[in-house]
Amino acid sequence: MNEHKSHLIWYPDHDLLLGDIVRAENCYLYDSRGKRYVDLESGVWCTSIGHSNKRILRTIAEQSSRIMHNGFNYSNELVEEAARGILSLLGLDGGRCVFLCSGSEAVEFGVRVAQSVIKQPLLMTMTDSYCGAYGSASRKQKDEWFCFDWMTCATCPYEEECREHCQHWADIPYENIGGFLFEPGSSSGLVRFPPEKLIRNIAALIRKNGGLVLVNEVTTGIGRTGLWFGHQHYGISPDIVALGKSIGNGYPVSVTAFAPGVIEQLGEKPLKYAQSHQNDPLGAAIALEVMAVIKDEGLIERSKGIASLLLSGLTGISERTGLIKEIRSRGLMVAIEFKDDSETSFTIRVHRELVHRGYILGRRPGVNVLRLDPSLTIDREDVGDFLEAFMAVLIQTDG
Helix H, strand E, coil C: the string for 180-232 is EEECCCCCCCCCCCCCHHHHHHHHHHHHHCCCEEEEECCCCCCCCCCCCCHHH
**What is the DSSP track for 35-60?**
-EEEESSHHHHT-TT-BT-HHHHHHH
Looking at the predicted structure, is the pLDDT value of residue 4 above 80?
no
Q: Mind listing the pLDDT tens digit for each residue in 304-315?
A: 999 999 999 999
Looking at the predicted structure, is the pLDDT value of residue 287 above 80?
yes
What's the average model confidence in pLDDT over 148-160? Answer: 85
Looking at the predicted structure, is the pLDDT value of residue 3 above 60?
no
Q: Mind listing the pLDDT tens digit for each residue in 179-234?
A: 999 999 988 889 999 999 999 999 999 999 999 999 999 999 999 999 999 999 99
State how far the Cα of 380 lies from the Cα of 153, in Å rounded to an integer.
36
* Residue of higher predicted confidence among 30 and 151: 30
State how far the Cα of 121 lies from the Cα of 330, in Å rounded to an integer.
34
Looking at the predicted structure, is the pLDDT value of residue 163 above 80?
no
Task: Using CB atoms within 10 Å of the CB of residue 67, give its burial: 0 to 12 exposed, 13 to 18 middle, 19+ buried.
Answer: middle
Backbone angles phi, psi at 171, to 5 degrees: -75, -10
Is residue 298 within 8 A of residue 91, CB to CB? The reply is no
Looking at the predicted structure, is the pLDDT value of residue 358 above 80?
yes
Summary mean pLDDT of the chain:
94
Q: What pLDDT, on the 0 to 100 scale, is given for residue 2?
A: 46
- What's the pTM value of the predicted model, to 2 decimals? 0.95
Q: What pLDDT, on the 0 to 100 scale, is given for residue 343?
A: 67
Q: Mind listing the pLDDT tens digit for each residue in 73-131?
A: 999 999 999 999 999 999 999 999 999 999 999 999 999 999 999 999 999 999 999 99
Domains with residue ranges and CATH for the chain = 3-53+298-398 (3.90.1150.10), 55-296 (3.40.640.10)
